[in-house]
Structure 1
Amino acid sequence: MKTISENLAAIQKEILTSCLKAGRSPEDVRLIAVSKTKPASLIREAYDAGQIDIGESYVQEFLEKTASPELEGLPVRWHFIGHLQSNKIKYIVDKVYMVHSIDKLSTARELSKRAAAKNLTVDYLIEVNTSGEPSKFGLSPEELLKTAGSFFDLPSVTLRGLMTIASPDPSLAHEEFKLLANLLEQLRAKAPHPENITELSMGMSGDFEKAIDAGATMVRIGTALFGRR
């Protein structure tokens, strides 16, 4: 069985290869290590191997890990990537580096309110349902472009870009990644500060190469690093 360090090195090599193939700099793609259901001890192994961006999907698990003896006080950059209910934002707002999964305007407003109450500025991404699957969260492309102005106006938060979870079919996924990249450009064209909106969080263990080819700046990888759940 390979160690977390060995898995991390292999993933980084694959990211490098994918970037070179796409004519992109590896420095433009950040690896988010998705550690949901995995113990804090494995996250510590990844951190010790140089991985500081960690993604979590469930609020209670996120809180337990941030307070765990193995991780408490370490400069981990915590990314919240799962579905986030408005009534749970107050628990994570002062602990998270970035929220990837804001899927409605009301949730963004609550994040803004809670960040302001703590005198913080929190970075976030809007989740887009690029596949159109009813089981998935996220704004439709049409809703995103229609409501974009309301997101730009929120205080104490900074919109950094977009996130999506693509279809399991690789051929469909590549088109959905390209759609998200196109939506990012349309969003930037509407934004009062387009220089802030640069991030595309897309691609996971099974499809991150296609996401990088389409312009991903963050890939969310769990299984390839920590093993199956």
Structure 2
Amino acid sequence: MKQRLQQLLQRIAIACEQAQREPQSVRLLPVSKTFSHELVQQAIMLGLTRFGENRIQDIRSRYEYFAEQPVQWVMIGHAQTNKARDIARYADELQSLDRLALAEALQRRLDGEQRCLPVYIQVKTAQEDSKFGLDPSQLMPFLAQLKHFDRLQPQGLMTMATQTDDPKEIRRCFAQLRLLRDQAQEAGYENITRLSMGMSGDFELAIAEGATDIRVGSALFGHRA
């Protein structure tokens, strides 16, 4: 794993150099979903302290298992409204906020927990039924509505690119998210700064289009069963 991490950091550095960016401008989020606690422990020993999971029940399991270690758990999968209580209690960040009902449920649960939650708004830039997220045209009205939820702290936007081998289509998805981020900032939402986009197979393209957070699993942990 140490060798894979070194190779991954080198790929990030090369992609940043080609995009005329500093490597420090890109934050790696290891995606630990489906991998064992033992593999996550190895990653922690290599200095990694933030991990992404698709399901809140898995975050709860990690939270309890690694209770004595300074680790943060990021919810990156589609979040069900009826899971808001556990998200409010166990997640350190949510990168898949995509509807008002979820924001309302999280606000109530976070009030009970007396804490705030950093969130990214998920935008659907791919024309695939399997993908979740707001329609791009809904982003500005949604940001206006989020002002009423003081327990939610919007940080940026998240997307998943089209599942294709066409790099132009993948880059189009990423470029669209960057444009939406810029439009949000121009509209006064200066806290919308981060772009979570790019995974093991396409993060170099995401970095070229301005990604600040890349979600990488297999390139670090190895192939999933």
TM-score (norm 1): 0.93
* Moved >4 Å (runs of 4+): none
Q: Does 1:54 align with 2:55?
A: no
Give the Cα–Cα distance (whole angstroms) in 2 for the partners of residues 147 and 23 of structure 1.
Answer: 33
Give the Cα–Cα distance (whole angstroms) in 2 for the partners of residues 10 and 108 of structure 1.
Answer: 38
Gaps of at least 5 residues in structure 2 are none
> Deviations 1:107-152 (Å, cap 9, x if unpaired)?
1222222112211111001111101222211001011123321023
Report deviation, 1:42.
0.5
1:13-32 matches, cutoff 5 A = 13-32=10-29
Does the residue aligned with 2:89 lie in a helix, a strand or coil?
coil
Letter of the 1:200 counterpart: L
Q: Does 1:84 align with 2:79?
A: yes
Letter of the 1:228 counterpart: H
Gaps of at least 5 residues in structure 1 are none
Percent sequence identity is 36
Does the residue aligned with 1:41 lie in a helix, a strand or coil?
helix
1:16-165 matches, cutoff 5 A = 16-68=13-65, 71-165=66-160
Q: Do 2:59 and 2:91's aligned partners in 1 also have CA atoms closer than 8 Å?
A: no
TM-score (norm 2): 0.94
Letter of the 2:12 counterpart: I
Letter of the 1:45 counterpart: Q
> Deviations 1:55-92 (Å, cap 9, x if unpaired)?
00012222112111xx2221112111001011112113
Letter of the 1:139 counterpart: L
Q: Does 1:208 align with 2:203?
A: yes
Give the Cα–Cα distance (whole angstroms) in 1 for the partners of residues 144 and 210 of structure 2.
Answer: 24
Give the Cα–Cα distance (whole angstroms) in 2 for the partners of residues 36 and 121 of structure 1.
Answer: 24
Correspondence for 2:2: 5
